[in-house]
Structure 1
């Protein structure tokens, strides 16, 4: 598979394309990374250096790829954090160009906006832009629980409510939805999500809905969402099965988190966990919700 990945880049650590490209390559996929920023490190440190690329410059790189006559070879477009609607417009234009050249290509969007406990951490106007323009243009989206609630305009506390919210968002355009960091009062069919020591990841498609429950580890490093979106896109397109993609993705990401916890670092340990990325151990079973 060939993937056009339009995201940020950092020299030190792993977020954006610096988190997504290596796992995709380790799975054997060709990645065309287009960077929107090139920072020294992720902004979670509170200080960083490096340039924020102008939207026109990002568009120029994509135009150069188009000049090679290869956009039609792209099987997917992947995007994450979009700090400016102008960059978002460049992403949407790239998606349109790729799909015009290859109607079978898909767009996977990680609608990065905020999280529980932090609220919205993007610029004003970005959440509405994501909800109203970007998400409806996507085929696959990977919001966290907080972002799903915003996209659906609701607050979900049970698994049934989460599924209703996913259905509302799917009605706007995307067919495949992966919801991460799901914590509910009932814990869904597994009855574990409300206990405080576990967390659910939910996958929904035209074929049904599934959930995987994993232990809740005491770390929240930057970049895991970027890895999750990349891996789910890859496994979903490779297997054609949301349940299989869900199990493979959660198993690999959990292995990355375990390695990161063992290392005692705030940077996710992608290189150390590369074998578990290349050959997911399938430690968690997907249960069917409907």
Structure 2
């Protein structure tokens, strides 16, 4: 039974980002997680000061070896990567994903290219962003960038849906991928709305959500975890995207209603459903 999701991303002692939020979201769908940390920090970067460090290449590859030796990878539905802050771990992750794809060609790989956002710009070194585009994106089946990351990968500003379609069509890195672009605001996006745009070859779906004016960390990590889980439960790409988008909107609305400043277990338990 393909009831597991492999997740490679950040881990924190306190808070809900990276694998902290992905693990719970996936488990609330009745699925199990094979979870690899890429960094281990005291809290997410919205808290200061922060302590901790990136996982070493040796330790990361030792964990990979341990999982490969107990023969559980056949039971995964997909692999997901999120925040990876070092070139070494990007390369190790890429090699691991490629081995999985070679042994099990049917396994999906979903890449969330965590590099930056509209408010902060690029928050990894340019060398890390370049390494991500060279080592992970070429091997993914589905890419889930936010709007900033999509523009960064395409190396252009985007204002219309036609510009997105044309830019992806002529981009050899992206034109054979399914792209789920979150947090999009185009010139014709209705006021007060935000878009998640699904690009699958010549097919484009625009999914609108209420734009909730709150800057909450971890929403991209949560979106990708819900999206991957919904695919594992049998939903198609568009249905999984709609459910993930609606859940994010509900969670953010609840945070505002309750006067909270970040996500917690309470709001996830309230809104995440199989």
Tell me the TM-score normalized by structure 2.
0.92
2 CA distance for matches of 1:174 and 1:30?
29
Instruction: Please tell me whether the aligned partners of residues 26 and 32 of structure 2 are also in contact (alpha carbons under 8 angstroms).
Output: yes
Hey, what does 2:223 align to over in structure 1?
A: 228
Hey, what does 2:269 align to over in structure 1?
A: 274
For residues 22-72 of structure 1, give each alpha carbon's deviation from its aligned partner in whole angstroms, at most 9, with x where no partner exists.
011101111111112221110121311224210221111111011102222
Alignment of 1:262 onto 2:257: yes
Tell me how far 1:242 sits from its aligned partner.
Answer: 1.8
Hey, what does 2:138 align to over in structure 1?
A: 136
Alignment CA distance shift 1:14-1:99 (3 Å)? same
Tell me how far 1:168 sits from its aligned partner.
Answer: 4.2
Hey, what does 2:244 align to over in structure 1?
A: 249
Choose between structure 1 and 2 for higher RCO, CA contacts under 8 A separated by at least 6 residues: 2
Alignment CA distance shift 1:72-1:55 (3 Å)? same
Instruction: Please tell me whether the aligned partners of residues 212 and 247 of structure 1 are also in contact (alpha carbons under 8 angstroms).
Output: yes
1 CA distance for matches of 2:90 and 2:48?
24
Within the candidate set 61, 74, 77, 1:75 is matched to 77
Hey, what does 2:37 align to over in structure 1?
A: 35
2 CA distance for matches of 1:114 and 1:2?
28
Moved more, 67-76 or 7-16: 67-76
2 CA distance for matches of 1:237 and 1:215?
26
Matches within 5 A, 1:71-220: 71-169=73-171, 172=174, 175-187=177-189, 192=190, 195=191, 197-206=192-201, 208-220=203-215
Instruction: Please tell me whether the aligned partners of residues 91 and 135 of structure 2 are also in contact (alpha carbons under 8 angstroms).
Output: no
Instruction: Please tell me whether the aligned partners of residues 10 and 41 of structure 1 are also in contact (alpha carbons under 8 angstroms).
Output: yes
Instruction: Please tell me whether the aligned partners of residues 257 and 269 of structure 1 are also in contact (alpha carbons under 8 angstroms).
Output: no
Within the candidate set 46, 53, 56, 1:54 is matched to 56
Long gaps (5+) in structure 1: 280-290
Hey, what does 1:288 align to over in structure 2?
A: none
Hey, what does 1:15 align to over in structure 2?
A: 17
Tell me how far 1:239 sits from its aligned partner.
Answer: 3.1
Long gaps (5+) in structure 2: none
For residues 64-85 of structure 1, give each alpha carbon's deviation from its aligned partner in whole angstroms, at most 9, with x where no partner exists.
0111022222221111111111
- The alignment yields a C-alpha RMSD, in angstroms, of 1.8
Tell me how far 1:237 sits from its aligned partner.
Answer: 4.0
